[in-house]
Amino acid sequence: MVKQISIFTENRKGAMRSITRLLAEGGIDIDAFVTNDSAEFGIVRMLVSDPDKASELLTQAGYQIKRTAVMAFGIPDEPGSLDRLLECVEDANINIDYLYASFDRESAGPIIVIRANDMDELEHFLKSRGFRCK
């Protein structure tokens, strides 16, 4: 499992840049991210190179953050690979809270980041089906 940082921020012009500038100045590399918004606030979910340092920097800057365990699985860069992963999740009867895709620099292929209702079972089941966990 990897630690994801969720950052709660105002939905306003320049909000994302404020976060990325803070992380860049701190030498933090962003490995994956997704944004979700509502009328007034948004949630930015990120995998970063140093979650502890990023959490400290963001908190000191006044951001409300939450750290969450997620799984990141590499999948082949071919049609149907995400469907095969989701079929395994369905076979295991595991509910997905959310997922997003990113790019794995090492394998030069896609990764799928998943938060589910039973993270241990998700890891065990997908590894048993041949998916590699990051």
User: What's the mean pLDDT when you consider all of the chain?
Assistant: 92
The confidence score (pLDDT) of residue 47 equals 95
Report d(CA 50, CA 26) in Å as an integer: 10
* Residue 12: pLDDT over 90: no
Selection from 117, 6, 116 nearest residue 65 by Cα: 6
- Return the pLDDT at 93: 93
| Neighbouring residues of 78: CB distance < 8 A, sequence distance ≥ 6 | none
How much of the chain exceeds pLDDT 70, in percent?
A: 99
**Residue 82, token pair as written in the block:** 């995400």
How do residues 29-43 score in pLDDT, each as one tens digit? Answer: 999 999 987 767 889
Kindly report, residue by residue over 81-121, the tens digit of the pLDDT. Answer: 999 999 999 999 999 999 999 988 888 889 999 999 999 99
Q: Is 114 exposed, middle or buried (0-12, 13-18, 19+ CB in 10 A)?
A: buried
Nearest partner of 21 among 58, 49, 46, judged by Cα: 58
Q: Per the structure block, which two tokens stand in for 117?
A: 């209702």
What pLDDT is attached to residue 104?
A: 84
Task: Tell me which residue of 95, 102, 94 sits closest to 128, measured CA to CA.
Answer: 94
